[in-house]
Chains A and B, each alone.
Chain A
Amino acid sequence: KAGVTQTPRYLIKTRGQQVTLSCSPISGHRSVSWYQQTPGQGLQFLFEYFSETQRNKGNFPGRFSGRQFSNSRSEMNVSTLELGDSALYLCASSLKAGQGGNEQFFGPGTRLTVL
């Protein structure tokens, strides 16, 4: 079974631009979560989607948004990029949302560099 895939793997943008990252979950998984990883803040939860609905959101500004499609694929968007948005963006999928003992499987991440 194929794992979680993320595209693109690497991205370079300039301040003020916007970016869209894509995540395809493991087949049959309906929940997709997004995380940001930086050297200073570590791994931080962005948001989670299940059945095209955002179920939970982390403490990030409104410039960070996401959505999920009917086939469970998800995208996240960052508008008006800032230098501090440079990070590894990770997507994780799981079979269900909010279930006890429900493990998440992570993709390889998208490395975003903002110049």
Chain B
Amino acid sequence: DAKTTQPTSMDCAEGRAANLPCNHSTISGNEYVYWYRQIHSQGPQYIIHGLKNNETNEMASLIITEDRKSSTLILPHATLRDTAVYYCIVRVGGGTSYGKLTFGQGTILTVHP
């Protein structure tokens, strides 16, 4: 699976949009971009995923660049409860990577009042 690079930490003011970047310059054509977050001592929570097109759901938006070498997770109106570690993961849909998510260190997002 392709390696990802994320900033170690970011801050955001409550009510503002949080934009979390991720670089995955070695991504292959059949690899998906996934985002998960983990609030302290809880299990990771799935947020969103995409292959080529931008995606939006009730939690967030995922913007993938045209060359697919980077992406941005957008939390449109951050709240204090969005404070968590955010993981960007690139994963092949099948083959030998069955079920395997490779987590990096992630980005610690802190939302301030």
Contacts and interface: CB of A to CB of B under 8 A. Distances in A.
Contacts of A88: 41
A16 to B, nearest CB: 27
A98 B42 contact: no
Interface of A: 4, 31, 33, 35, 42-45, 47-50, 55-56, 58, 88, 90, 92, 94, 97-109
Nearest to A102: B93
Contact of B51 (A49, A100, A106, A109): A100
A45 B100 contact: yes
B75 to A, nearest CB: 18
B34 A103 contact: yes
22 contacts: A33-B101, A43-B103, A44-B103, A58-B100, A90-B43, A90-B44, A94-B99, A97-B98, A97-B99, A99-B93, A100-B51, A101-B49, A101-B51, A102-B93, A103-B46, A104-B46, A105-B46, A108-B42, A108-B43, A109-B41, A109-B42, A109-B43
Contact of A48 (B46, B93, B100): B100
Given A42-B105, A55-B99, A106 B94 contact: no
A98 B43 contact: no
Q: Do most interface residues of chain B lie in helix, strand or loop, or is the interface mixed?
A: loop
A98 B103 contact: no
Nearest to A48: B99
Q: Do most interface residues of chain A lie in helix, strand or loop, or is the interface mixed?
A: strand
Contacts of A31: 98-99
B113 interface: no
A33 B100 contact: yes
A75 to B, nearest CB: 16
B25 interface: no
A99 B100 contact: no
Nearest to B92: A100
A109 B30 CA distance: 30
Nearest to B34: A103
Contacts of A109: 41-43
Nearest to A97: B98
Contacts of A98: 93-95, 97-99
